[in-house]
Structure 1
């Protein structure tokens, strides 16, 4: 099925000005996509959507949503569906880190990491898929992490790594079910990127330290990751599904 001219990309956790989601939303808007930003910070989501609309001249909507709460997800996406063109792409970016060592981790904190990173991905994806299946077209991209492949070693530890490993299995299994509906499902596993999920803005000293084992000699940028995501949700990626794309400068060679 050819891509419709009027189409929307939904991005969760994309309100932060320094985040991968915001960079991806900007790039997609530049390509003519309408944009829906879902974020726990509703005001920030609205401001981000308004800024993108003003700069790119596309239709946008920003909505408050707690991705770990089914009712919140349903309400947010009902608003989106009534405000912008049909949803063709979903990018699951909402996530929280966990730098706590395993023996100090609490069940409450563990559950919160999985509620946002894993259950949130499930809830938003399932809700969006109804429309994609009906239309016979869709792209789903979820953010995993090099931490899932290496067992941490960057910033976050066991809880985060385990939840992001779940994203890889989720992606592969869901792709099997969605292929017959014209929907592709893929994951992106970034290495170290200069965003706030790394514990705040990276100092030059910290960047240098993190770059020692990266083959290209630097940490990633949000634009690096956004470029890959935008390709995977675009019309040229229709034969790519169930894949996990490493984008880590060679830190992890699979």
Structure 2
């Protein structure tokens, strides 16, 4: 399959990691439908993409609901005529302000817990489910979920009692789908970032927080949004066709 003719959906496509992924794919000449809840963020990425060879389309949608997700996949197929992969980048913490890290258990409501799973797990589940009939029909497809190092351990200042289980579930979803969908030629993998200082994170967390985390990083620098985009693109592109069910840490050496 030609790299130039490939078409993708990237959720959270207006955010730091999602936006970097969109730009990375467009540089290869790919078609990308970027989905985000914010038109402003999407427009910002589209401005950056103006000179790139690929084709970028945008869709403002809430992908924690079934109907918008189904419409998004339908739109991608109408726009591009094909779909080779989906990057489930949308996620994070609801109403994130920087004070969510290590929240006491008693301060986490059931509503917050459910919203965390909706944002991170429901979105990945629904997008994977909606894209699967097309992938199965052509006996080929790529799904990439984005988890977090917070899924692997009780890491200080990386998550909380709602976020960490949600990101663990994102990995479990990918591992299960890799088994179920592998016979249909569908590869499902996960990227696990460590701390990534996107513009949003910088504003919420500040320099002191960053310096504390840098002391634990073997490479002496944090992974960037571009580093994450390269990992996601690898799992979407043909070079990784022999890989499924894997989780790749992109965290500058932090495990």
Same-fold status (TM-score > 0.5): yes
CA distance in 2, matches of 1:28, 1:4: 10
1:167-182 correspondence to structure 2 within 5 Å = 167-182=170-185
Aligned residue in 2 for 1:91: 87
RMSD: 1.9
- Aligned: 1:150 with 2:149: no
Q: Number of residue pairs matched? A: 248
1:48-197 correspondence to structure 2 within 5 Å = 48-49=45-46, 51-52=48-49, 54-97=50-93, 98-99=100-101, 100-196=103-199
More deviation, 84-93/37-46: 37-46
> What is the aligned counterpart of 1:31 among 13, 28, 31?
28
> What is the aligned counterpart of 1:239 among 236, 239, 242?
242
Instruction: State the shift of 1:250 in Å.
Output: 2.2
CA distance in 2, matches of 1:48, 1:72: 21
CA distance in 1, matches of 2:223, 2:205: 11
CA distance in 2, matches of 1:156, 1:8: 33
- Please say if residues 145 and 190 of structure 2, whose CA atoms lie closer than 8 Å, have aligned partners that are also in contact: yes
Cα deviation, 1:105-156, whole Å, max 9, x if unaligned, reads: 0111111110110011100111011111111111111001000002242332
CA distance in 1, matches of 2:229, 2:69: 24
CA distance in 1, matches of 2:200, 2:136: 33
Calculate the TM-score normalised by the size of structure 2.
0.90
Cα deviation, 1:27-57, whole Å, max 9, x if unaligned, reads: 11111111110111135335534642x2213
Aligned residue in 2 for 1:15: 14
SS in 2 for 1:150: coil
Which blocks of at least 5 consecutive residues in structure 1 are unaligned? none
Aligned residue in 2 for 1:45: 42
Calculate the TM-score normalised by the size of structure 1.
0.90
CA distance in 2, matches of 1:4, 1:144: 26
CA distance in 1, matches of 2:154, 2:171: 14
CA distance in 1, matches of 2:68, 2:254: 37
- Aligned: 1:6 with 2:13: no
